[in-house]
Amino acid sequence: MSTTRTSPPSSTKRLLHELQSYTSDPNPALLHLAPVSESQILHWDAIMKGVDGSAYEGGLWRLDIRIPDNYPMAPPTIKFLTPICHPNVHLQTGEICLDLLKQAWTPAYTITQTLTSIHQLLTYPEPDSPLNVDIAALLRAGDLVGAESLVSSPSTPFHHAHSPFCGFANPLSLAEHLPFTVRPSLLCFHGLASVDRARLTPLPCRYNL
C-alpha cells in the first residue's frame, strides 16, 4: 500500500499491522474498517453498528478517522459523519467527547480498540461531559424514556422508514443514498438523512445485507 501523504515508516508499519489484524479478526462492533484508499494510510473510515437492546439498535453510522504522522504516540482524530443523537457526540460536527481520544491515550491502544470504546459509549454514555446538552439533561434526570424518544423524534433525523423492497427498517439518519460512500457488499440504502419524508427515494435493493 502506497501513501500520498508522507508518514514515518514506523507509523505505516504499525497501521498496516493493525489493518492485517482487523482483517483476520474483525471487530464485531463494525461492518467496515479500512483506509479510504490504498494511497491514504493516514485516513481511514469505519461503519459502526448500533448496540443491540439500546435506542441505537439496528443503526449504522459512518465515522471518519484521521491519523497523525506520529501515531501511535498521539491519538487519532475520530468523528461521526452520520449524525447521531448522543450526549457525548456533537450533533452537527460529529465530535466525540472521550478521554481515550485525548489525555487517556497511550501507544498501546489500536484503532479498532478505540472504536470499541466509542461503541461502548453508546451503551454507557457520560451525561456529565456532554456535547449534546438536550439528551444529556434527560439522562441526568433519569428520564430514559425521554432520552430514547429524542433519539427517534420526528424533530430530529432519527425516525424510521420501511423499505417496500426488502422489508429492512432503518433510521433515516443512518445512511444517505450515496452507494459510493461504502463498499458495495455492506448494505443497501433506502433513506435520506432528512426529516422530510417527501425526499425519500425507495429504490430497489442494490446490495445484500
The catalytic residue positions are: 97
CB atoms within 10 A of CB 57: 12
DSSP string, 74-85: SPPEEEESS---
For residue 24, give Cα distances in angstroms to 17, 18, 110.
Answer: 11, 10, 15
DSSP string, 112-132: HHHHHHHHHHHHS--TTS-SS
Cell 433519539, residue located = 151
Pairing of strands 43-49, 60-66: antiparallel
CB atoms within 10 A of CB 103: 7
CB burial of residue 106 (10 Å; 0-12, 13-18, 19+): exposed
Q: CA gyration radius for the chain? A: 18
Distance CA 33, CA 15 (A): 12
Q: Which H or E element spans position 12? A: helix 9-24
